[in-house]
Structures are given as structure tokens and as C-alpha cells.
């Protein structure tokens, strides 16, 4: 039998494989970005948004604040008010509102003609049903309340078809901004009345938003299509009538490099959560990147004042001044991250620049530790009365770069004489072992969004079932006074100076140690996609967007 030497064919195959392998190392060739010039708005087109998860359940109350499902809810549903990325509140389904002098009663005036996608009216009765389910949930049906909805809510009533009166047990200045929170999505009363197993099927969840559900597959994709009769979008977005885009497809692609390469190659329009370190490279290639900041706390440590060594104010202050935040940004993050100016993100209304209260000053930190009696040993670790200056940092599994930040902080504190151990757990173990204000947790890494700074009064002490983040109970009279004043304020003007003083007190006492302003939602986007807006919770909104 005659056999043909395979040398040539083999060489061709090997050569082809090599070329492909090398090509694969480069950036995708097809579909490079168009010139980054703005084009006038136009109707039509479909976009694909690649997302790293589609969350868990679709029961509206249980999923509305999901970092993933929040994107879809934001297009399927409306809210009563719109809160922009600077915390400014403007009308949406509620055209206007009033409050009484003590901020315990509010009257909402609804826009006429708003309907859910099943054509039932979004009227006062529907709003009352939503307020009740946000506030209380329904544990008998496995429906959660919205965690950050004001706990002071008492009841609400429909005065007529477009007027709702809402009553609170105590002053609740944050009520109106909270209506723009991502949990506060308006759902049809018919959906709210369904058993949770049926609400978990997204097809049964009826909203009034600019898009309606076209199809969905659990854990795979959600396809939305434009609602042609939609005409009640927030004026703040500068667009009226139906959405410009015909459809949005949210497709789960778990692998980050596949998401970003798909946008680079023109196969998709948006990739959610690209690696922060790659943003500069994408920008240089002409792609749009967005790193909106949500309204809420900055990333930082809530210090447990009951636990040594942080039961000493000087040690807390040394920690406060011993962390070089600029180095964290330059080492772990990029220029898209901003240094913290307070315990709140700087775009929160009422946040003031208190940078001086926690400015990096290693000499001051060393001096404070010396004054507190902590003496450096031969190994560089300080000790007092036979006890070493040590504590554990638990990396927050909900924040991608948390462990890297903690490692850098441990390194910085090591120079001052702290011995910092870092523990990293998965979400499950973290939830079980690392609890705020627990005796074993000296510093708890916080990330939490909120719409109104007034809600912070509920975490600082244990008054009114507060979360008592710092383990102080009500022992710090000044903090209790300030927190109570902030919670009870009936106007923003009266609250502002109290809020400023509160921030100063918390920072000067070293109760909260800020790290950086937080960017939890990152976007890589085709330059063809224009007119995208980001709300106060940093979700991208495509109602007014178009494809150029």
C-alpha cells in the first residue's frame, strides 16, 4: 500500500494553528469602533447587553435591588420619582408632591393616563398596593420587604384615582428620594397578589416601563421590546414618547474576557463589569467606558468600638490617619475611582468634604499610638501590657478588589506597628462568620447604597432598632443627638448642618474609616450607542438611548 508523506499538510496545519493562536492573542479584528462622533438621535435598532449574572429569583420585591436584575427592572417598570446621579429628585409617575411640616405625611399627585403593560391603570390604588408590599413584604408568601424602605412607614391611602396620602410614625424626610431607589419599582397589583412561585416567573410580572418582556430563559437571557404607547418617561432624561431602541437583549456571559471581546468585535453593544485595569486600554481603542458612582456610603471600615484595640479612640484615630488612600487608588484602582471625602459618596446631597478629618499623616498616626502607650517591639509590631496591636480584616466578597485593598492597607498599617491579618471567605461563609458589630469582627468593610442621607441615622446607634454599626449603643450622647436630629429633621435646610456635624464627629472619633469612593457598576460600551444615562444607583438607562 502506498502512503503519502504528510509533511506538507502537517506543516500547513501547524502553521495555520500558530497563526490563529497568535491572532487570538491580539485584539479582535472585526467590528472595531466607529469614530467617536456624536450622531443625532434616531429611532430603531436593537442592542445586546452582556451581563455576568441574571441574579436569582424574579419575585419583584426579592430581586429589585439586585446588581444584575436591577438593569432589567429599570426598563420593565417605572418609579414614582427619578433620582439622577447627583441625587436630584424630579417627577416621574408622581407629577408633584407635598409634605406636612413634620415630614410625617406626604401627598403624591400621580400623572394621569399611566397604564401597566396589561392596560390596567397605574392609579392611586396601585401605588398604595406597592407601598404596602415594599414596606412589609409578605412573609407568608416568601416575599421580602424592601430592606432599605423607611421603617417608619405606617400606611397609605388612595384619596382619589391620582392622589395618594402616605403616613409615617416619625419624620421621614428621606421618603420622597427613596421612591427613586432601585427597590421602589411599580408593579401591577395583579402581580403583587400572585403567589411567589408565579411571581418568580418573569412572564407574570407586569410593569409600566418603556419596554415589555418579549422572551426570557432562566439563567440565560431576557429580551425586552419597546412599548409603543409609552409616554410617561422622566422629564429629566430629556426624551418623550416611546423608547428609541426597538429592543434590548440581556444575555448572560459569565466569562469577563468573552464579554469585552464580544463588544470589541461588534457582536454586542455593552459589556457589564469589565476589569477595572482594562478600562484605559478600551478607552484608547475608542470604546466608551462608564464608571458611575451610586449614592451611598463610600467603601470603608465600620469600626467595632467594643473590641480591642479599637476600644481606644487614639488607636482608631491612628488607623484613620494611617491609611494612604491615594496609594490605594493608584495601586489597586484607576483614575476612574475618586478618593473618599467623607463617609458618604461625594454625589450624595448633604455630603460635605471632610477630607481633613482623615487625611493621611503617618507621623500623626505614630504619635497617637505612642500616646496611647503602644510600643514597637523588635519585630516592628507594637504592644501594650503584653498584648500586640493586631486585628483581622475580612475581605468583602461582594466587592471585587476588596482583598487587594485590604492587603495594601495591611502593608501601610504594618509600617505603623499594626499586625493585620487578612481573611477571605466565600459569600456563604462570610455571611455566617462576619457580622457587623460581632465581637470577632473589629473592622467591618461596608458597601451600601442609599438614596437619602437621612437613612444613615438608622445604622449609627441602636436607637429605634438601629443597626448599631460601631457597637456604641447609645453611649455617645453627641452621636445619638446628631443621629436623632438628622432622622427627625423636617427640612433639608435644617438637616444639612446636622449632617455635616455628624460626618465630622463619626470621622474624628474614628468610628468609620473611609477608603475610596465606590464604583460597583462598570460598563464597556460600543461608541455607536449614545444617549445613555445613569441614575442615582448607577444603573444604565436606555430609554433615551439610540444607535448612531
Q: In the complex, which residues of this chain contact another protein (CB under 8 A)?
A: 1, 3, 5-7, 10, 20-21, 23-24, 28-30, 48, 50, 56-59, 62, 65, 137, 139-142, 144-145, 147-148, 196-197, 199-201, 217-221, 249, 251-255, 257-258, 261-262, 264-265, 267-268, 398, 427-429, 431-432, 436, 446-449, 465, 467
Q: How far is CA 477 from CA 271, 301, 410, 531, in A?
A: 48, 22, 32, 49
Distance CA 181, CA 346 (A): 18
Please answer whether residues 515 and 342 qualify as being in contact, where contact means their C-beta atoms are separated by less than 8 angstroms. Answer: no
CB nearer to another protein: pick between 374 and 523: 523
CB nearer to another protein: pick between 92 and 211: 211
CB of 222 to another protein, least distance (A): 12
CB nearer to another protein: pick between 160 and 220: 220
CB nearer to another protein: pick between 90 and 196: 196
CB nearer to another protein: pick between 175 and 374: 175
Q: Could you give the residue ranges of the DSSP H alpha helices within 28-110?
A: 60-63, 69-76
CB nearer to another protein: pick between 141 and 283: 141
CB nearer to another protein: pick between 327 and 462: 462
CB nearer to another protein: pick between 438 and 481: 438
Q: What cell numbers appear for 484 in the block?
A: 436623632
SS3 call for 450? coil
Please name the helix (run of DSSP H) or strand (run of DSSP E) that holds residue 523, with its range, or none. strand 523-525
Region label for 421, one of left (φ > 0), alpha (ψ between -120 and 50) or beta (otherwise)? beta
Q: How far is CA 13 from CA 7, 189, 435, in A?
A: 10, 63, 58
Q: What is the DSSP string of 348-395?
A: STT----GGGG---HHHHHHHHHHTT-EE-TTS-EEETTEE-EEEEEE
Q: What cell numbers appear for 545 in the block?
A: 438611548
CB nearer to another protein: pick between 261 and 352: 261
CB of 22 to another protein, least distance (A): 10
CB of 545 to another protein, least distance (A): 18
CB nearer to another protein: pick between 306 and 448: 448
Distance CA 487, CA 467 (A): 14
CB nearer to another protein: pick between 255 and 353: 255
CB of 98 to another protein, least distance (A): 28
CB nearer to another protein: pick between 338 and 518: 518
Q: What is the DSSP string of 299-343?
A: EEEEE-TTSTTTTSHHHHHHHHHS--HHHHHHHTS-TTS-B-SSS
Distance CA 313, CA 318 (A): 9
CA dihedral of residues 165, 171, 173, 177 (deg, nearest 10): -50
Rg (the chain; Cα; Å): 26
CB of 483 to another protein, least distance (A): 16
CB of 217 to another protein, least distance (A): 6
Residue 455 is classified by DSSP as G
CB of 184 to another protein, least distance (A): 14
CB of 201 to another protein, least distance (A): 7
CB of 298 to another protein, least distance (A): 14
SS3 helix, strand, coil % of the chain, rounded to 5?
A: 30, 20, 45
CB of 350 to another protein, least distance (A): 19
CB nearer to another protein: pick between 60 and 417: 60
Q: What cell numbers appear for 384 in the block?
A: 501594650
- Rounded to whole angstroms, the maximal C-alpha distance in the chain is 102
Q: In what order do the strands lie in the sheet with 443-446?
A: 419-424, 390-395, 443-446, 299-303, 512-516
CB of 202 to another protein, least distance (A): 10
Q: How many CB atoms lie within 10 A of CB 500?
A: 17
CB of 164 to another protein, least distance (A): 24
Q: Is the peptide bond before 309 cis (omega within 30 degrees of 0)?
A: yes
- Which residues, 6 or more positions from 241, have their beta carbon under 8 angstroms from its beta carbon? 230, 231, 233
Residue in the structure block whose three cell numbers are 436623632: 484
CB of 379 to another protein, least distance (A): 35
Amino acid at each position: 500500500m502506498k502512503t503519502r508523506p504528510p509533511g506538507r499538510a502537517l506543516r500547513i496545519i501547524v502553521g495555520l494553528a500558530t497563526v490563529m493562536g497568535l491572532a487570538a492573542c491580539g485584539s479582535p479584528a472585526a467590528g472595531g469602533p466607529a469614530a467617536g462622533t456624536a450622531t443625532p438621535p434616531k429611532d430603531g435598532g436593537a442592542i445586546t447587553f452582556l451581563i455576568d449574572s441574571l441574579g436569582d429569583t424574579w419575585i419583584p420585591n426579592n430581586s429589585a435591588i439586585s446588581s444584575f436584575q436591577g438593569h432589567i427592572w429599570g426598563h420593565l417598570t417605572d418609579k414614582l420619582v427619578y433620582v439622577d446621579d447627583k441625587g436630584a429628585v424630579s417627577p416621574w409617575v408622581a407629577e408633584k408632591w407635598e409634605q406636612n411640616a413634620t415630614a410625617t405625611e406626604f401627598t403624591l399627585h400621580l400623572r394621569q393616563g399611566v397604564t401597566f403593560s396589561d392596560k390596567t391603570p397605574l392609579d392611586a390604588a396601585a401605588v398604595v398596593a406597592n407601598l404596602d408590599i415594599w414596606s412589609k413584604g409578605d412573609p407568608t408568601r416568601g416575599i421580602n420587604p424592601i430592606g432599605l424602605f423607611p421603617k417608619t412607614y405606617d400606611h397609605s391611602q388612595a384619596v382619589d384615582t391620582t392622589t395618594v396620602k402616605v403616613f409615617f410614625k416619625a419624620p421621614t424626610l428621606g421618603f420622597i428620594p427613596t421612591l427613586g431607589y432601585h427597590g421602589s419599582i411599580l408593579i401591577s397589583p395583579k402581580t403583587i397578589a400572585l403567589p411567589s412561585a408565579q411571581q418568580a416567573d418573569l412572564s407574570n410580572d407586569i410593569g409600566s416601563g418603556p419596554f415589555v418582556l418579549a422572551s426570557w430563559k432562566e439563567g440565560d437571557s431576557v429580551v425586552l421590546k419597546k412599548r409603543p404607547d409609552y409616554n410617561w418617561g422622566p422629564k429629566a432624561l430629556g426624551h418623550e414618547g416611546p423608547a428609541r431602541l426597538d429592543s434590548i437583549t440581556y444575555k448572560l456571559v459569565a466569562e469577563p474576557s468573552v464579554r469585552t471581546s464580544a463588544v470589541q468585535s461588534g457582536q454586542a453593544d455593552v459589556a457589564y463589569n469589565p476589569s477595572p485595569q482594562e478600562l484605559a486600554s478600551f478607552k484608547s481603542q475608542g470604546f466608551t467606558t462608564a464608571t458611575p458612582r451610586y449614592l451611598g456610603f463610600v467603601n470603608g471600615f465600620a469600626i467595632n468600638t467594643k473590641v480591642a484595640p479599637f476600644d481606644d479612640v487614639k488607636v482608631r484615630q491612628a488607623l484613620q490617619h494611617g491609611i494612604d488612600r491615594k496609594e490605594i487608588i493608584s495601586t489597586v484602582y484607576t483614575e476612574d475611582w475618586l478618593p473618599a471625602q467623607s463617609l458618604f459618596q461625594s454625589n450624595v446631597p448633604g455630603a460635605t468634604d471632610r477630607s481633613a478629618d482623615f487625611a493621611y499623616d503617618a507621623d500623626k498616626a505614630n504619635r497617637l499610638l505612642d500616646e496611647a502607650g503602644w510600643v514597637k517591639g523588635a519585630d516592628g509590631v507594637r504592644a501594650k501590657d503584653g498584648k500586640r496591636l493586631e486585628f483581622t480584616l475580612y475581605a468583602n466578597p461582594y466587592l471585587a478588589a476588596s482583598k487587594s485593598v485590604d492587603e495594601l492597607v495591611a502593608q501601610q498599617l504594618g509600617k505603623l506597628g499594626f499586625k493585620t491579618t487578612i481573611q477571605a471567605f466565600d459569600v456563604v461563609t462570610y455571611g455566617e462568620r462576619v457580622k457587623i458589630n460581632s465581637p470577632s469582627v473589629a473592622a467591618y468593610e461596608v458597601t451600601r447604597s442609599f438614596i437619602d442621607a437621612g437613612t444613615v441615622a438608622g445604622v449609627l446607634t441602636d436607637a429605634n432598632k438601629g443597626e448599631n454599626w460601631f457597637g456604641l449603643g447609645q453611649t455617645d450622647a453627641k452621636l445619638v443627638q446628631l443621629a436623632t436630629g438628622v432622622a427627625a429633621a423636617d427640612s433639608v435646610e435644617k438637616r444639612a448642618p446636622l449632617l455635616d456635624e455628624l460626618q465630622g464627629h463619626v470621622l474624628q472619633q474614628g468610628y468609620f474609616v473611609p477608603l475610596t469612593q465606590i464604583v460597583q457598576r462598570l460598563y464597556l460600551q460600543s461608541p455607536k450607542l449614545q444617549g445613555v444615562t445613569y441614575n442615582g444607583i448607577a444603573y444604565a438607562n436606555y430609554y433615551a438611548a439610540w444607535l448612531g
